[in-house]
Amino acid sequence: MAETLEITGVSASPGVAVGPVHLAADVTAEALALGDTMASEGDKLRQAVATALAELEALADRSDEESAGILDFQIEMLLDPALVEMAEERIVAGDGAALAWFGALNDYIADIEQAPDEQLRARAIDIVDIRNRVLSALTGRPLEDFAPGSVFVGKDLEPSLLLQHDWTAGGAIILFEGSVSSHVAMLARSRSVPMVVATGRFKVADGVRVLVDANDGRVVVAPEDQQINKARSRTTEARPTVPSRAGGVIETADGVAIRLSAIVNDPIELKSIDPSSVAGIGLMRTEFLGNVFNQETHYDVYRQALDWAGDAPVIVRMLDLGGDKMELGVGAKESEAFLGRRGIRLLLALPEIARLQARALLRAAAHGNLGVLLPMITVPEELDAMRAIFEEEAAALGRRGVQTRMPEIGMMVEVPAAALMLDRFLRSDFFSFGTNDLAQYLAAAARDDQSVAALYNAATPAVLRVIAQGVALAEAMKKSIGICGEMASDPQHIPALMAAGLRHFSMAPNRLADIRSTIAGMYSDGRAAAEMK
């Protein structure tokens, strides 16, 4: 039997869980074994092509004659080295495997679509199919999952793995490194998955029982029953008692209306939110959707959200790739991840992806109250460039008779150079503060680095000053402004955010009850209602 061992880390998502350890594969060692980047991108591509081929062959084996014929054509195409060679040329020029494959296949598809021969033109859809199958092998394929109810232990955890895993049977996350402000921590909080980060490396075997007391940032390997009972009894005491089913607009003690909207990271979350309990969706992240290269995936998800919301607004944020989220293998060094090509910068550098998402958004906007949020805007020209993409795509869809509507296009306020100059962004229809990033950029302290977390937190007064100034500028421009960073989920920050003038807050649905009762007990200037008496 394993010996009891207690380890202290930092709580990134509260809660208590007990379960067997699932030890993650050591990705660092694997990554080093891959050798130089260019060779590994080429290898990744060839491996993905081999996976796609195996899938197609298996599919052809169990298909009828007609379908097998179509699949055989796709198999022939994939066996032809020409496609991989076209992508490899792009890898040599610096693209990652996914991007290289996407770009090369798109060029090829565009050529086929222009072909004079009708039969050849009809084959374009097969190439689209091949493109998507290989891409999903490269990017969208779920990573190695683990048994429900177990406790993931590793250096870090991919957001997509957290999202695809079934947490209904319990379980928790322990990261040797990691940070409270990282995306994966944010997702754990929104799913109520207990998580402890920054424990440092410790030795534990697969399958050993651990207690994760994430209320205290504590991990106990091979715990005594008594320790488990004690941790569990404290959780039951801490449960919030406020009902969560109340409207999305709440009044402060002096009668000022405050809007509370949901943040959604995965459409599956909509199933557990009552639409009448929120003022719509204030932020729908799209970077965790799975196959981001597929327009129909985007469109279906947006339609689902709009149908769920009825007349209420649904604000969809365009892909905020880069940083600590999925990157497209475009070669960003780790140190550059947050300061390099991320969000709008990457979208404008990869217009094929931006256009694909714009088309899905334009089509979906015809069916509800859709707004579009642009991530990481620094200068007005970025906003103008994306608007131009929307206008061009709307015109192109219109020529094909596809029904569209131009949505309102607003921007995240998360880069200090933009946050201080909102009056320059006249073409932004609305604004939303992204304080998770604003804090890291103001403090020059990366959000995914727990060793500088104290500095990150120390940026709060600076963040609040920038917010107060931004709210005044937006009001002078008669544009709406809200907040969708994690600060809006923390009752401690609500008084200062109200005092700064914010009236629209977006948060993970499991934070609504707490924030609702906090706001109901205060005046609009942030003072507690009791203080005035």
Question: From the CB of 180, what's the least distance to Mg ion, in Å?
Answer: 15
Does residue 177 bind ligand PEP (CB under 6 A)?
no
Indicate the residue among 77 and 379 with the shorter CB distance to ligand PEP. 379
> Is the Cβ–Cβ distance between 412 and 317 less than 8 Å?
yes
Interface mask toward Mg ion for 433-462; x: CB under 5 A: -x--x-------------------------
350-369 binders of ligand PEP (CB under 6 A): none
Q: Which of 22, 298, 484, 493 is catalytic?
A: 484
Q: Which of 183, 298, 493, 504 is catalytic?
A: 183
Q: Out of 414, 448, 449, 486, name the contact with Mg ion by CB under 5 A.
A: 414
Active site annotation includes 298:
no
Alpha-carbon span 411 to 378, nearest angstrom: 10
Element spanning 88, H or E: helix 81-92
Does residue 437 bind ligand PEP (CB under 6 A)?
yes
The token pair that represents 396 in the structure block? 């192109």
Question: From the CB of 412, what's the least distance to Mg ion, in Å?
Answer: 6
DSSP state of 287: T
In 10 A of CB 36, how many CB atoms? Answer: 7
Q: For residue 383, with 0-12 CB atoms within 10 Å meaning exposed, 13-18 middle and 19 or more buried, which class applies?
A: buried
Indicate the residue among 34 and 349 with the shorter CB distance to Mg ion. 349
User: How many angstroms from the chain centroid is the CA of residue 79?
Assistant: 35
Selection from ligand PEP, Mg ion, none that 161 binds (CB < 5 to 8 A by kind) is: none
Does residue 485 bind ligand PEP (CB under 6 A)?
yes
Q: Which stretch binds ligand PEP (CB under 6 A): 32-40, 110-118, 377-385, 430-438?
A: 430-438
> Is the Cβ–Cβ distance between 382 and 420 less than 8 Å?
no
Question: From the CB of 259, what's the least distance to ligand PEP, in Å?
Answer: 16
**Residue with the closest Cβ to ligand PEP?**
434
Active site annotation includes 183:
yes
Does residue 324 bind Mg ion (CB under 5 A)?
no
Indicate the residue among 283 and 305 with the shorter CB distance to Mg ion. 283
Q: Which stretch binds ligand PEP (CB under 6 A): 361-369, 379-387, 429-437, 520-528?
A: 429-437
Helices (H), 265-379: 295-309, 344-349, 351-365
Indicate the residue among 7 and 379 with the shorter CB distance to Mg ion. 379
Alpha-carbon span 125 to 112, nearest angstrom: 10
DSSP state of 4: P
Q: Which stretch binds ligand PEP (CB under 6 A): 120-128, 235-243, 330-338, 433-441?
A: 433-441
DSSP 3-state of 36: coil
Alpha-carbon span 383 to 364, nearest angstrom: 21
Question: From the CB of 223, what's the least distance to Mg ion, in Å?
Answer: 37
Q: Out of 223, 434, 470, 501, name the contact with ligand PEP by CB under 6 A.
A: 434
| Residue among 533, 461, 521 nearest 497 (CA) | 461
Number of residues that bind ligand PEP (CB under 6 A): 9
Does residue 161 bind ligand PEP (CB under 6 A)?
no
Selection from Mg ion, ligand PEP, none that 518 binds (CB < 5 to 8 A by kind) is: none
**Sheet containing 195-197: which strands, arranged edge to edge?**
5-8, 218-221, 209-213, 16-23, 151-154, 172-175, 195-197, 10-13
Indicate the residue among 100 and 488 with the shorter CB distance to ligand PEP. 488
Q: Which stretch binds ligand PEP (CB under 6 A): 13-21, 55-63, 65-73, 431-439?
A: 431-439
In 10 A of CB 162, how many CB atoms? Answer: 22
Number of residues that bind Mg ion (CB under 5 A): 3
The set of residues, in sequence order, having a beta carbon less than 8 Å from that of 39 and lying 6+ positions away, is: none
Alpha-carbon span 151 to 532, nearest angstrom: 48
Alpha-carbon span 467 to 482, nearest angstrom: 10
> Is the Cβ–Cβ distance between 31 and 39 less than 8 Å?
no
Does residue 159 bind ligand PEP (CB under 6 A)?
no
Q: Out of 156, 393, 414, 449, name the contact with ligand PEP by CB under 6 A.
A: 414
The token pair that represents 402 in the structure block? 């596809």
The token pair that represents 445 in the structure block? 């302290």
DSSP state of 334: G
Question: From the CB of 247, what's the least distance to ligand PEP, in Å?
Answer: 23
> Is the Cβ–Cβ distance between 481 and 470 less than 8 Å?
yes
Interface mask toward ligand PEP for 11-40; x: CB under 6 A: ------------------------------
Question: From the CB of 332, what's the least distance to Mg ion, in Å?
Answer: 16
Question: From the CB of 185, what's the least distance to ligand PEP, in Å?
Answer: 10
Q: Out of 261, 286, 294, 435, name the contact with ligand PEP by CB under 6 A.
A: 435
DSSP, residue by residue, 245-269:
-S-SEEE-TT--EEEEEEEESSGGG
Question: From the CB of 471, what's the least distance to ligand PEP, in Å?
Answer: 16
User: Taken in order 422, 427, 429, 433, is the CA torsion positive or negative?
Assistant: negative
| Residue among 60, 66, 275, 25 nearest 152 (CA) | 25
Q: Out of 98, 138, 419, 484, name the contact with ligand PEP by CB under 6 A.
A: 484
Residues catalogued as catalytic: 183, 484
Residues that bind Mg ion (CB under 5 A): 414, 434, 437
Residues that bind ligand PEP (CB under 6 A): 285, 320, 414, 434-437, 484-485
